[in-house]
């Protein structure tokens, strides 16, 4: 059962790499249209491209950055649950978290209406909160571990 809980984390890592490729595939051509990286100022960062290249292209980069923020907590909680022994509902919430984050990515990278994006973020955060409580119960009180 412990290995099962690691699968959603592996899928989210893979999805993050998909977003990386999508970001690169859209950003590099946009950069070449404005002179390429040879004209980039030393120490430049992705944020420097705001207002320089099309917002729709930057949306992929924004999402890629988001996949390195809250999901880092998800990875930690998943490892804790894998070590301590997840409950069946933990697997459900882990997959729900990943599914919602993928939908969030697709939405942010294409449509990016903030009201929907915020709802998706809140739903994924709720899944993460449930997983966190499960991890706390197992680590602090040895409650609810799988049989």
Tokens, residue 59? 């949306």
Residue 51 gets the label, from left (phi > 0), alpha (psi -120 to 50) or beta, of left
Tokens, residue 53? 């290249």
Q: How confident is the model at residue 143 (pLDDT cuts 50, 70, 90)?
A: confident
**Residue 50 three-state SS:** strand
Instruction: Name the nearest CA neighbour of 129 among 85, 73, 83.
Output: 73
**pTM, whole model, 2 decimals?**
0.91
List pLDDT tens digits, range 40-80: 667 666 665 666 688 899 999 999 999 999 999 999 999 99
Alpha carbon distance 127, 90 (integer Å): 9
Alpha carbon distance 61, 59 (integer Å): 5
In this predicted model, which residue has the larger pLDDT, 19 or 34?
19
Domains of the chain: 2-36+53-141 (1.20.120.550)
């Amino acid at each position: 059962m412990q290995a099962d809980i690691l699968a959603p984390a592996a899928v989210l890592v893979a999805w993050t790499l998909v977003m990386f490729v999508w970001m690169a595939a859209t950003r590099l051509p946009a950069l070449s249209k404005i002179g390429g990286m040879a004209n980039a100022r030393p120490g430049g960062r992705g944020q420097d491209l705001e207002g320089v290249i099309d917002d729709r292209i930057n949306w992929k980069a924004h999402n890629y950055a988001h996949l390195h923020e809250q999901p880092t907590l998800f990875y930690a909680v998943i490892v804790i649950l894998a070590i301590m022994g997840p409950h069946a509902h933990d697997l459900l919430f882990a997959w729900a978290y990943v599914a919602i984050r993928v939908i969030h990515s697709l939405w942010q990278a294409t449509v990016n209406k903030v009201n929907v994006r915020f709802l998706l973020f809140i739903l994924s955060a709720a899944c993460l909160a449930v997983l966190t409580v499960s991890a706390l119960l197992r680590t602090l009180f040895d409650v609810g571990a799988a049989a």
